[in-house]
Structure 1
Amino acid sequence: MPSRIETVIAQAADRVRSLPAGRQNTVALAAGALSALAFAPLNLFLLMPLGLAVLLWLLDTAQTTRRAAALGWLFGFGQFGVGLYWIAIAFRYQSNMPPALGLPAVLLLVGGFALFIALTAASAHRLWTGRARRALVLALVWVAFEWVRGHVLTGFPWNLAGNAWLPALPVAQAASVVGIYGLSFVMLLTGGAIAVLADRTNGARRLAGFTAVLLLGLTLWGTARLAIDRPPETEKGPLLHIVQAGIGQDEKWNPAAERRHLWAHLDLTAAAIRRYGPGIVIWPETAIQNFIEHEPSTRYLMGRHIEAPGALITGGIRVEYEADGTPIALRNSLFVLTPDGEIQAHYDKAHLVPFGEYMPLRHLLAPLGLDRLAPGDIDFVPGPGVRTLSVPGVPDFGPLICYEVIFPGNVVDKEKRPAWLVNISNDAWFGHSSGPHQHLAIARMRAIEEGLPVVRATPTGISAIIDSQGRLKASLPLGARGVVTGELPARRPVTLYARFGDVPLIFGLFLLSLGLVIVRRTD
């Protein structure tokens, strides 16, 4: 006998399936848009599986693969449109790009990303007709295309479906085992279980029951992990001072404000040290305009504001010159300075932002006038890749500049594992939007995956200290000016994900795919 929940879900499914094609298009777009509200800052995570259930109901009505692809594209356009609208804000601050290009550029980007969902929906429709099995196929193919999106053409694994689990932090702890793509599979499985309950069949109930048991198990395990896996109370890390100077992108590169911006960071640093004592000071990405490698007096001034045994970790730009003084290369870099103003170590950003820090295929696109999409006439040059910096007085750390933190499995030097990750960024590009909140959420997921604390420094927020289980230990909100001070949380033993990456997940999904193929052939 069907339960009350099954009856309600069946009624909702029938209404969606009975809609005319035009109304279905609107529902697909709306379902995708609402599913994006599962991500930060709203964190309405239940909207993700509900939106996915609606997509599956719509796919049930698709008579052709092309129609399924269209429904998937509309869903994806809604999700990416709401999730990535904030990218258009950056066009306000780019002198080489008219602000009017912001909306068309983002719409083009969103339409391209929606193709991944279109291909997912088409594959689910093409490969299976049974509703319960179609839900499994959708989950498998969705995760596969998320992985592709995170790797091809430099990759952009932003707002993966698994990130929506972060408000349910116990469930999110599973990222330490299966990574963010594994969490995405659990999310797709949850959406599929809701969808197939509308069929009120034994197969649908088995899938829903399995999913419910899985979520309960993950919740109990994650809760225990959060409660038990703690360092001894006597173990204390070094003191951190994260400076958030409140300098917006509209004034950041004003030449007349160069000295004022430097002193804004120095004054905040000095005040924090006076109040709490010396520690490791962290400034954001390109914190100041000065090219400190070539300005010993500026480095000396910066060093005077640090007290031993502390150090200063700051973002800046490295410039390489020809013999005649002509600049030939720029590098987005992180520097470590001692109290005497010496540069002890540096790191050059390896994963550059296409069309932002460099122009892909400039020799082909520049004649078309598209060189205006990249700032300046000189592209930034990438560094050699992830590494661990070892500096006296500072625990070994892995530097990550800006969106380098969004790439799962590619944030740590596996040959020399660090004690913590330092993510300096400039989220001021995106104002008071969802972007900085989502960036913080992604950094929290990296902390869970790697079992390492992550420390973020941004000029306008959200700067934070994140422990190795993704919890915020201290933070400054978006738009605030001040200093985040706190102890560096302890790292955890190497997680399974840190040790093996996506290999176990890929193997498990392969076995599931093989099982589905065998079942289909025996039907």
Structure 2
Amino acid sequence: MGLRTEAQQWRWWQAGLVALSGVLMAIALPPWSLWPVAWVGLVPLWWVVLVTPSVPLAATYGLLWGLVYYGMSLAWITHLHPLMWMGVPWGSSVAIALSAWIFIVLWGSVCIAVWGGAIAWLARRWPGRSLWLVLAGTALWCALEALRNHSPLDWSPLSLTQSPSNLWILHLARLSGPGTITAILVATNGLLALALAAGRRQTELPHPSTPGQTHRSAPTIHPSTPGQTHRSAPTIHPSTHPPIHPSTPPLPLLLSALALAIAGHALGAILHASTAAAPDGQVLTLGLIQGNVPTREKLTPQGVRQALQGYTDGYLALVNEGVDAVVTPEGALPQLWNPNSPQIAAILQTVEQAGIPLWLGSFAPVPGAGRSQYTQSLLEIRPDGQTYGRYDKVQLVPLGEYIPFEAVLGRLISRLSPLDSYLVPGAPQQEFITSLGQGTVGICYESAYSRLFRPQTRLGGEFIITASNNDPYPFWMMVQHHGFDVLRAVESDRWAIRVTNTGLSGVVDNHGRTLWLGEPQTYLTHRATLERRQTLTPYIRWGDWLTPLLLGATLVLGCRKNQR
């Protein structure tokens, strides 16, 4: 099919529907959190892809949806600018911020383009297999989200549209992780779209004037060919060419969508109500410090002094409130760890005198590394001055903490890192064992990666700690980040304490209820009591078993129908 024909099939009203779908799903995310919209927001995308006759065109519509959805939800990345305080010229600073935003948006959009093209191909190849098509579309979307979650750049999965507000649906993540929520959203929207397509098809079919009687178009007689008749070609409606021909009338599809949504909420409510209580006495009291020292300031000598004073004062104030340990954000002390440096020696002396452990965010050297290698770490400092528990960040931030394709881009981008040393990722499976028990830890945007939290919890993590900087990003990014932490708490049946530099710090229980949320851009301390839990949800035990099950069911049912 030529480019001209493809261009002629492009319809702006269909593109408008796809863009509207992207907007609807984006406003279902925090901070707007219009989560009910997500249960119908994908219908326009599903419908346009189903009725689009061209696979490349359907992929283009999928790409457009991704550009709108990810473009809106990830626009906070542009707040990386300005970088002039690091010596980067203004023009380069703008280019870096826009390039980072465009790249991650394109990565997510390409995945949706693959989904759109695949669904259009399946709809043309096997028309009339409505329920199987919904199954295939759900399986493929879940698989693509799982793929993105194993890449360095992932944010804004569909499950985030339900967090932190729709707590019943969030409990479905205990079964097979956040992909369970994605699956029910995609399937419900797919059934609604097929019901719409089926209803539209019925309205386009000819209606007999007499019950049981149908009308055919009359044969056309051409005088130039005596005795020969020609039947007129059937009318083809360009908006639905080729037709989907749903094998089921619209009402059963509509009722199936409603039943699926209701059943999902009911199952989530049952999981919420059946959660086992924690044993008596399994609690710990933690204090958190939100330092509120902007990155552009805390890397200066004055900023280092400000951070040291703020965290020391906050630590002593929380010790006086009777906490069991004090937690600081990611990179709270912006120095390479050296117990002999004056600032770190002062912290060690303070902890020794107070007698309460400090869980400090810092840059720790890699043991036994021949090169000057450091990790972004959370360290437990005990009163004897030694570090015991340690978690090293696994998912490093591209450009900020490591340089992709360093041999090519190293000279150009090395100035973006405030450290002169080489940051390396931590091991995939770690155990943060402290004097108060074992914790599950996430640093910075690791909150978006459930696959990093699950093994820690399965190995004995009894509570969750997330330590983040979040500067220089805006409030609505902080709300999205908080939504991820709510998801992590619910899927693992663990209480979570969230400690940030500029906000939002908070406390979340194992049901996803936010018990306390601090003000952003403010220095503050808070004392919180958390339950220590040892339960293992199905997701923690077996991981994401639903996605391979959906993919397997799609292949098996597809092959069976082909053999008939």
**SS of equivalent to 1:332:** strand
Q: Secondary structure at the match of 2:503?
A: coil
Q: Which residue of 2 aligns with 1:269?
A: 315
CA contact (8 A) 1:96 1:374 kept: no
Deviation for aligned residue 1:363:
1.2
Out of 314-323 and 125-134, give the one that drifted further: 314-323
CA distance in 2, matches of 1:435, 1:139: 28
Cα distance between partner residues in 2 of 1:111 and 1:501: 28
**TM-aligned CA distance change 1:63 to 1:221, over 3 Å:** closer
Whole-angstrom CA distance in 2 between matches of 1:27 and 1:95: 43
- Give the match for residue 110 of structure 1: 105
The aligned counterpart of 2:392 is 348
Greater shift in the superposed pair: 27-36 or 186-195: 27-36
Deviations along 1:294-338, one digit per CA (max 9) or x if unpaired, are 336544533555576631111101247999xx9822321111112
Distance 2:424 2:503 in 1: 26
Please give the secondary structure, in 2, of the residue aligned with 1:499.
helix
Distance 1:96 1:270 in 2: 36
* Mapped partners of 1:183, 1:521: distance in 2: 33
Q: Which residue of 2 aligns with 1:8?
A: none
Q: Does 1:145 align with 2:188?
A: no
- Over the matched positions of the two proteins, sequence identity in percent amounts to 22
1-side partners of 2:325 and 2:410: how far apart? 43
Indicate the residue corresponding to 2:207 in structure 1.
none
* Correspondence for 1:313 among 359, 377, 387: 359
1:351–1:385 CA contact under 8 A, matched in 2? no
Q: Which residue of 430, 454, 469 corresponds with 2:473? A: 430
Match of 1:3 in 2: none
Name the counterpart of 1:126.
Answer: 121
* Cα distance between partner residues in 2 of 1:112 and 1:81: 11
C-alpha distance in 2 between matches for 1:112 and 1:232: 42
Cα 1:114–1:232 change in 2 (3 A) is closer
Once the 2 structures are TM-superposed, how far is the Cα of residue 483 of structure 1 from its aligned partner? 1.6
- Of stretches 405-414 and 379-388 in structure 1, the one that deviates more from structure 2 is 405-414
Q: 2:516 & 2:464 partners in 1: Cα distance?
A: 15
Cα offset, 1:252, TM superposition: 2.5
Residue 5 of structure 1 aligns with which residue?
none
Q: What is the Cα deviation at residue 366 of structure 1?
A: 3.6
Per the TM alignment, residue 399 of structure 1 is displaced from its structure 2 partner at its CA by 2.6
CA deviations over 1:220-255 (Å, ceiling 9, x no partner): 332243344252595451111111122223322122
Give the deviation of 1:189 after TM superposition. Answer: 0.9
Alpha-carbon distance in structure 2 between the residues aligned to 1:521 and 1:336: 61
How far did residue 462 of structure 1 move?
Answer: 1.2
Aligned structure 1 segments of 4 or more residues deviating by more than 6 angstroms:
320-323
Aligned to 1:225: 271
2:257 to 186, 208, 211: 211
2:306 to 236, 243, 260: 260
- Separation in structure 1 between the aligned mates of residue 310 and residue 493 of structure 2, nearest angstrom: 34
Structure 2 Cα separation of the partners of residues 241 and 365 of structure 1: 41
Which residue pairs with 1:462 in the alignment? 504
Length-normalised TM-score, structure 1: 0.86
1:485 corresponding residue in structure 2: 527
User: Residue 38 of structure 1 aligns to which amino acid in structure 2?
Assistant: A
Q: Which of 90, 94, 97 is equivalent to 1:100? A: 94
Segments of 5+ residues of structure 1 without an aligned counterpart are 1-18
Give 3-state SS (helix, strand or coil) of 1:334's partner: strand
Instruction: Give the unaligned 5+ runs of structure 2.
Output: 1-8, 200-245
1:109-508 pair list within 5 angstroms: 109-129=104-124, 130=127, 132-133=130-131, 134-151=133-150, 154-166=151-163, 167-198=165-196, 199-200=198-199, 202-229=248-275, 231=277, 234-274=280-320, 276-295=321-340, 297-299=342-344, 301-303=346-348, 305-306=350-351, 310-319=356-365, 328-366=372-410, 369-371=412-414, 378-392=421-435, 394-411=436-453, 412-413=455-456, 416-432=459-475, 434-491=476-533, 493-508=535-550
- Secondary structure at the residue paired with 1:188? helix
Q: Is the 8 A contact 1:146 1:160 kept in 2?
A: yes
How far 1:387 moved relative to its partner? 1.2
State which structure, 1 or 2, has the greater radius of gyration over its C-alpha atoms: 2
Deviations 1:171-226 (A, max 9, x none): 11010002111211111012112222322474543343333333323323322433
Q: Name the residue aligned to 1:16.
A: none
Provide the secondary structure at the position in 2 that maps to 1:170. Answer: helix
Cα shift at 1:428: 1.4
Aligned-partner SS, 1:456:
strand
